[in-house]
């Protein structure tokens, strides 16, 4: 399978067409941004690590019955995925207060939540991905009730599966963001990535951050954190 024309370039990945109209190739970059692109940088080796970790997690999800866009890892940075229409929602699950939740509600970072929460943001860079009330999703026809039910069920199931796998490697899953796609026949599948760019991972004992917050907050040790996650999850 070979790359044809570039279809899209995002902040962390490029997407290419292939000879098969139902498949495309995602190519992971080392570029990193935060605060809706305001902060820019490079995290050396990040593209390859996020490719490996995402593909591993996607395959775990498939095994557990959650359909995903994953097809085949081509090389260290490139992966074949199903061509889908991305549902314009950022789906965020939280287990422990952190980030915008802590800021918005005044709950100290690291406070365990009484139960996992789900929230949706409108995937729209020009607007800075604003938080959505459920009714707004239907009002703007971003997803149907049935689609949102499927997305919600899948997202909570991903949380349980990921949490269980990570804790076995001494990593606590604080929160994460998922995106879903729709296949031409209308099926909802898990898409985008599951990586230290899109999740908060803390060492379960020391609470050391092993994710992109090290970049967002200028904490140093960014590359080491990504490498540590690759090592813990895949032993590489
Ligand atoms: P938040 O606390 O800043 O709302 O972030 C919640 C989770 O979503 C966190 O694991 C990081 C992830 N995230 C993204 O993947 N992309 C984004 O653009 C943002 C703001 C957060």
Q: Write the burial class of residue 38 (CB in 10 Å: 0-12 exposed, 13-18 middle, 19+ buried).
A: exposed
Residue 19 Cα to ligand 1 middle (Å): 34
Q: Which residues line ligand 1 (CB under 6 A)?
A: 92, 98-101, 129, 175-177, 198-200
For 167, half-sphere exposure in the C-beta direction (CA atoms, 13 angstrom radius) is 9
Identify the band that residue 147 occupies on the pLDDT scale cut at 50, 70 and 90: very high
Token pair of 166 as six digits: 């990570």
Q: Where are the domains of the chain?
A: 6-82, 85-234
Residue 2 Cα to ligand 1 middle (Å): 32
Token pair of 68 as six digits: 């995903």
Question: Per-residue pLDDT tens for 30-76?
Answer: 999 999 999 999 999 999 999 999 999 999 999 999 999 999 999 99
Residue 99 alpha carbon, nearest atom of ligand 1: 2
Residue 129 alpha carbon, nearest atom of ligand 1: 18
Residue 130 Cα to ligand 1 middle (Å): 12
Top-tier CATH class for 6-82:
alpha beta
Strand 131-132 relative to strand 89-96, pairing = unpaired
pTM here is 0.98
CB atoms within 10 A of CB 231: 12
Identify the band that residue 136 occupies on the pLDDT scale cut at 50, 70 and 90: very high
Question: Per-residue pLDDT tens for 186-234?
Answer: 999 999 999 999 999 999 999 999 999 999 999 999 999 999 999 999 9
CA atoms of 194 and 45, how far apart (whole Å): 16
Q: 68 forms bridges with which residues in the sheet?
A: 190
Answer whether 159's CB lies under 8 Å from 119's CB.
no
Residue 177 alpha carbon, nearest atom of ligand 1: 8
Using CA positions, which residue lies closest to atom 5 of ligand 1?
99
Q: 3-state SS string over 14-64? A: EEEECCCCCEEEEEECCEEEECCCCEEEECCCHHHHHHHHHHHHHHHHHHC
The CATH homologous superfamily to which domain 85-234 belongs is ATP-grasp fold, B domain (3.30.470.20)
Residue 102 alpha carbon, nearest atom of ligand 1: 2
CA atoms of 186 and 178, how far apart (whole Å): 18
Answer whether 143's CB lies under 8 Å from 149's CB.
no
Mean pLDDT of the region 116-133: 97
Residue 110 Cα to ligand 1 middle (Å): 15
Q: Terminal CA-to-CA distance of the chain, rounded, Å?
A: 26
Residue 177 Cα to ligand 1 middle (Å): 6
Phi, psi (deg, nearest 5) at residue 148? -65, -35
């Amino acid at each position: 399978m070979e790359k044809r024309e570039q279809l899209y370039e995002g902040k962390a990945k490029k997407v290419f067409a292939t000879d098969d109209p139902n498949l495309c190739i995602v190519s992971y970059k080392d570029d990193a941004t935060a605060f809706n692109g305001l902060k820019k940088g490079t995290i050396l080796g990040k593209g390859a690590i996020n490719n490996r970790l995402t593909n591993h997690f996607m395959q775990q999800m498939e095994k557990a019955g959650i359909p995903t866009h994953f097809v085949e890892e081509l090389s260290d940075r490139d992966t074949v995925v199903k061509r889908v229409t991305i549902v314009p929602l950022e789906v965020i699950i939280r287990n422990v207060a952190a980030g915008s939740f802590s800021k918005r509600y005044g709950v100290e970072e690291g406070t365990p939540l009484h139960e996992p929460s789900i929230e949706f943001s409108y995937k729209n860079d020009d607007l800075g991905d604003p938080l959505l009330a459920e009714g707004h999703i239907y009002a703007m026809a971003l997803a149907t009730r049935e689609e949102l039910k499927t997305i919600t069920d899948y997202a909570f199931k991903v949380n349980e599966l990921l949490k269980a796998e990570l804790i076995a490697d001494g990593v606590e899953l604080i929160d994460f963001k998922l995106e879903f796609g729709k296949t031409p026949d209308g099926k909802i599948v898990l898409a985008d990535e599951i990586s230290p760019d899109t999740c908060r991972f803390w060492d379960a004992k020391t609470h050391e951050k092993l994710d992109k917050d090290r970049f967002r907050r200028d904490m140093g040790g960014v590359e080491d954190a990504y490498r540590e996650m690759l090592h813990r999850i895949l032993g590489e």
